[in-house]
Each structure stands twice: as C-alpha cells, then as structure tokens.
Chains A and B, each alone.
Chain A
Amino acid sequence: MATEPRLDLTAVAKTGSRGAANRAEARGWAREQRRALRWGLAPALSVLALVTLAPAVWLIVTSLTPLTPTEPGSFDFSEPWQNYQQAFTSPEFVRSVWVQIELSFVTIVLQLLLGLGIALLLDKPSKLLDTVRTGFLVPMVLPPIVVAIIWKVIYTPAISPLHRLAVFLGVPFHSLIGNADTAIWAIAAADTWEWFPFTMLMALAALQMVPKEPQEAARIDGAGPVQLFWHVRLPYIRGTLVVAALFRLIDSIKAFPLIYLLTDGGPGGATQVTNYYAFVQTFNFAYWGYGSAIAMLLVAGVFLFSLLISRAGGGMALDE
C-alpha cells in the first residue's frame, strides 16, 4: 500500500523561513542599492542644485521685486506681481513675443527644409560628397559674432558684395536690415545660414540609419524617388527631425548676436525678440526685477513649446 507522502511541516517551515529570509535579504539589498544610489548621486545633485537651481530660484525671487541697483530698497516684495502685470500690459513686450514667434517659426522651417534637402543630396557614398559635407559645416563652427560680422558686411549696401552683384545684374534692392518688412527675414536668412548644417547633420545621420530592405522592396515595387522618400524614408527619420526642431526652437529663442550686431532690435523694434527685450531692460536700463520677470516668462514659454513639440514627436513615434 502506497503511502501518501507526508507533508514535512518542519521542512516547509524551514523552506518558508528561508524564502522569507531571502526576501528580507533581497529587500535589504534593494534598500542598500537605493541608499548607495542616493549617496552616489548626492554630490552631483548638490552641484546641480548650486549651479542651476539656485540662480533659477534667485531669478524667480528677483522677478517678484522692482529691483534696480540705483534705487536702494528696491528689493521689495510689497507688489510681487507688478513686473508680470507690466509685461502683459506693455505693447513692446507683446510685440516682442510675436516677433519671437515669427522668427522662430521661419528659421525652424527654413533650417529643416534646407538641412533635410541637402542631407538627401549628400546621402550617397562618395569621397567628393564627404568633402562637400565638411564644407557645409563651416558656418556652424564659426563663432556667432564672426557670423554676425559677415552678415553685417553683406547687408550694408555701401560695402556689400550682394548689393554690388544685384546692381551688376540690374536688380538693385534697398537695405534689407533698414526696412521693417525685410529686417526679420534678413535675420532669419543669416540664422539659417549659420544653423542649417545642424539639421543637415541630424537628418543625414538618421537617413544613414534607415534599413536598406524596405527601400529595396519599395524600389522593386516601382516606387519613384519621391514616393520612396515620402512613404519609406521620412517615417524613419521623422523622430530625429522633431528632435532637431526642438533644439533649434530652444536656440532660436536665445537669438542674440545677429540681432545685436545687425539691427539692434530695429528698425523701430521690428526685430526685437523677447530675449533682446529682456536684455535691453536689464542691461541698458538696469531694471533687474522687470528683466527677471521677462526671463521667467521666456523660460515658461520654452517649456511649453518644448512640451508641445515633444508630445507631437511622441505621437509620431507611435505612428511608426
């Protein structure tokens, strides 16, 4: 007669207690890991807090005061929102936001189109194209102030090779930076020249990562270059283009040297972006509190736009 195996309660108890001990040990190990992580990160986080957060907190605090160095006692919190109220009721500030949106939109679109277009042309194995590619990078590595000086010469009719060429060809035109209708486009053209290599590099890197098989399959199915790009290559590089646009957006909001040297925000405020407006208020007139409030609004705007673009980028990634 077969006897049923007896349940060895002692063994179970031992096993159970071993499991509990293992779990406790695992929990302890995890706790140790977390603690080590916390202590390991602490120095870096402290530096980050000191270098990044402290000035940001100071900016917020200053933005709540009418601080100006010439007025003793102006570090005063009695009307904490007055700078923000002044900004929203200032036509100059509101105009600077529209100029900023216009400049950012134009430069991002131009840089993406030009960068992508040239990347498509250069995406072929060739030593010559390798050299050309390097040449295209030159504007991006020049110091911004040098770029501004180059374009100052180009846009100054008395010494400009561009204006001389236009006269020679019989199509003279007036100063681009002295005209309110063209000044922002002139800045956008210079900015695009400087920064399209960045979008070109990003697009080129993404294009070279597109797998060959679907492209071959599409070609065999009779897809032309446009269809191949639109239906096969673009979906693969779309995410990269969104990231490139995000980088360019953030940089376009920081636009400064070109505007400073070419137009000084003029004519009549036509190229005064929000960043430049904050600069003038803070450094020309020493309205530190008001300038800080403008800077805070700028930071909030950048966060908002970045969120929107990254959401849009995330959506596209899911579509893929």
Chain B
Amino acid sequence: MRRRPPALPRRALLAGVAATTGLLVLPGRAPAQGGNKKFDGVTLHVACFSHTYSEFLRSYLPEFEEATGAKIVYDTPAFPIYNQRMDIELSTKSAAHDVINVTFIYSGRWVGAGWTTPLDDFLNDPKKTLEDFDPGDFLPGTTAAFKDAKGGLHAIPWIADAQQAGATRYDLIEQAGFKQPDNFDQMPAMLKALKANGGPAPFVTDNHYGWTFPPYLLAFGGLIFRHAPDDLHPMLDTPEAIHAAEFFSDVLRNYGPDGVLSYSYDQVATALKDGTINYSTNNETFLVRMAEPDSKVAKTCALSMMPAGPAGRFPNVASHGWGIPVAARNKDASWAFITWAMSKDLLLRMFNEKGYSSVTRASMIAQPEFEKKLMINGFDGAKIYRDTLDLAGKGYTVYRTVAPYPPVDRELDNAIQTIVSQQMSAKEAMQRAQQNSLRALQRAGVKL
C-alpha cells in the first residue's frame, strides 16, 4: 500500500514561517501599524511615455507604495500616443493624472499655457522637500526648458537625452581602415566602405526625423527658425538646409536597411543590440544599451561624439521631466512621488542596478563609478555625455521648446521621408516643408 504524502511537509512549513517573519522584520518592509502612513488611501495616477527609464522605474514603484501607503496607477503608452493624450488632458484641465512627464518638445506649450504646477513652493518648503534632495544639483541645461516666464520651475528632469554616435561592429569599421567618424566628410566614406565589405546594414536612425535630422541641418549651417524664440520665421528652404536634407537622405537611402523609413526608436534600439545595423547617430540611452550583458555586440560596440559639419557640432539634447498638472487633486502626494523618483538614492540605485546613465544630476556624473561604468570597450562614454551636454548648453536646442514647434517637427519628418522615397528632390521637399510650416505657424497665431 502506498503511503499518502503529507499535505505540507513540516520542514517546508517551518521554513515558510521563518521566511515570512524575516521579511516582516526587515527595516522598511513591515506593513503599517494601524494604517498610519502619510498617503494611505491615496491613489496616484502617474503617466510617462514608454522609455528605458520609465520601464526601469516601474520595478521600484512598490517601494514607494510600501513607504507612503499611496497606490500608484502607472501608465506608459508610446511616445506619440502619450503626447497626444496629455496635450488634450492638460488643455481641458483634466485631473485624470497626478504626476506626468513634461515632454521636452511640448514644454513651451504646456508650461507657457499654465497647464502645469510651478514647483517652487514645494521646493522651498523644508517640510515637503528634504535638504538632501538638493535641487541645485540638476544640470542647468536640463531644467531650462521647464521654466516659465517668471523663472518658476515646472518639472524635475529625469533625462538628458543626448545624441551621440555609436557603432555595433567597430571591428568591421577598423577592418575597413576607419575610426569612429568625427565629421560629415568621414562618415559617408566609412559607410561606403562598410557597405562594400558586406555585413550588417551600415546606418540607421529612428524615423522621428524632426529629432534626428536637425543636428545635420545645423551642422551644415542651416536653421530651423530665424532666431528662436523671438523670431519664429521658418528657415527650411535655405541652401544650407536643402544641402543638409540631401546629405542626410542620401545616407539613409544608400546605407540604411530595407524599410529604413519605418524604423521607430524601439526598433532601432533592438537592431543595435542585435548588431543587425552597424552605425547610428542616436540617443545616448539607446546607444549605451549596446554594452548590456544581453547585447550581441557588447564586446564590439563603440561610442563617439555626434559628427561635426562645416558649421560645427550640434547634437540635440532633450530633457523630459516629472511635473504636476495644474488640476491634480493630490499635489502633496504628487510631489512626494517626484522627490522619491528623482532622489539621489534612487537614481544611484537605478544606475548601479539597471545601468540607467542618462542622468541629470551633476553629482552623479562626477562620480568615479559613472565614468567606470560608461567606459565601453575603451571609449569614454561619460566624457562624451558631458561634452554633449556642454555643447547643448550653448542654447541651440531652444528651437525645440517653442510652443508652435510640433507642426514644424512633422514637416521635417515628411520632408526627409519624401526625399528618401524619391517623391521629390531635396529642394522641392524642403520648399514644401517651408510653405507648410509657414501656414501652420500662421494657423497657430504666430506673427511672421
């Protein structure tokens, strides 16, 4: 006769009890006694677009819930969907969200229209902001976009999205007799050699050309607006702008993978980690992921500054930040969330545990661990990051934060697509972009 196995072995039972007791006595893990946490019963609706950072942050949210008693409803749709949704919610003074990401490209519009809450009262209140939060630690270049006309700060930046250049197969670049290109003369020569030698597609960049193309446009001496933010007359049909568009489109068409126009930012990030594409001018956040342990190109990837053109080097830097909608109902809890998410402690943990390096705190960038971790196959990622932020500090990215920029951004998208798909010449496409931008700006009430 078979012996019936015990329903729960005694050893397993004892081990379970011991483990549960251990968890409960760990500091900060014990449940609240009598429900006396500061934000018990509060539900915070937090929204950000889908990004490496927002996904990293997701795994830490239970800690905030545990510490404060607040419940977090966390929403991270794709970038364009997030922006559309938030634009409507903010413009209608919706209280649907308590904490939102203030998107760089919309910062002028959202902050300028008074749709977000000035944070200075929170920052200046020692009861609401602990001393070690140290708001002065955030790099001035990353907070500039979030200030209103009176200098009030409306968001705390969680990223400095800095454009750089990266290669997945630097070994192939060296074999072809090249180094990471420093300028736009060297770049096509290198790409041509890579293409001739076979291997992965030589070049890609994501199809948000309103973001990826301007560094080329500025480097060839072009401008987006005549003198943003004071004179918003678009300048897309100048010879310099047309030449830049032709150059950029040629690179995409001749050296991009099949279907290059449909590569969104997440596809580019995946293609880089898989090594199916060699070289890209792209965001630091995506490029450093080439060195992650699960990347197929961790041992062969390389980093460098965005190449320079005849007029100089103009990598885009965009900062996105946590803000509070003006109609939010639980602003104290919202601020508690922001100070927790942007605390030195949590950011340092995200850097060490997840590898999140697009940081906005000067104290973090200065740390030896930062330099050590961003030293990738002998390429000094930390220095490239710092130098890129310094360049952007000159203020040439201000065109992105003027309120009526989004339609111009879309026109740049369309123009590059039109040239790459050979529907129009660079001249025709940029002239059309100019005319359409003029119409859009007039529609927005801009006096030209």
A: residues with CB less than 8 A from B are 66, 68-71, 74, 86, 90-92, 155-158, 163, 174-175, 177-180, 262-263, 266-270, 280, 283-287, 290
Contact = CB atoms under 8 A, between A and B. Distances in A.
B112 A70 contact: yes
B113 A69 contact: yes
Interface string B154-167: 00000000000000
Query: Which among A263, A286, A290 has the greatest number of chain B C-beta atoms within 10 A?
Result: A286
Interface residues of B, number: 43
B444 A68 contact: yes
B440 A266 contact: no
Contact of B417 (A66, A70, A266, A280): A266
Nearest to B424: A268
B63 to A, nearest CB: 33
A194 B173 CA distance: 45
Given A178-B262, A179-B421, A284 B84 contact: yes
Contacts, number: 108
B161 to A, nearest CB: 20
B258 A284 contact: no
A179 B259 CA distance: 8
Contacts of B284: none
A11 to B, nearest CB: 78
B259 A267 contact: no
Contacts of B413: 266
A177 B262 contact: yes
21 contacts: A66-B445, A70-B444, A71-B445, A156-B262, A158-B257, A158-B258, A175-B260, A177-B259, A177-B262, A178-B260, A180-B423, A266-B414, A267-B417, A267-B420, A268-B419, A268-B424, A270-B421, A283-B84, A285-B407, A285-B410, A286-B109
Given A175-B258, A267-B418, A284 B439 contact: no
A174 B260 CA distance: 10
Interface stretch (B2-10, B86-94, B387-395): B86-94
A165 B164 CA distance: 37
Interface string B255-287: 001111110000100010000100000000000
B262 A70 contact: no
A90 B261 contact: no
A157 B259 contact: yes
Contacts of A179: 421
Contacts of B84: 283-284
Query: Which among A155, A179, A285 has the greatest number of chain B C-beta atoms within 10 A?
Result: A285
B262 A283 contact: no
Given A263-B262, A283-B84, A268 B415 contact: yes
A74 B445 contact: yes
B259 A175 contact: yes
B439 A90 contact: yes
A69 B261 contact: no
A70 B109 contact: yes
Nearest to A268: B418
Query: Which among A175, A262, A263, A266 has the greatest number of chain B C-beta atoms within 10 A?
Result: A266
Nearest to A160: B259
Nearest to B413: A266
Contacts of A287: 443-444
Query: Which among B80, B260, B423 has the greatest number of chain A C-beta atoms within 10 A?
Result: B423
Given A68-B443, A91-B435, A156-B259, 16 more contacts: A66-B445, A70-B113, A86-B439, A86-B443, A158-B267, A174-B258, A180-B423, A263-B262, A268-B419, A270-B421, A283-B87, A284-B83, A284-B84, A284-B406, A286-B87, A286-B109
Contacts of A175: 258-262
Contacts of B415: 268
Nearest to B113: A70
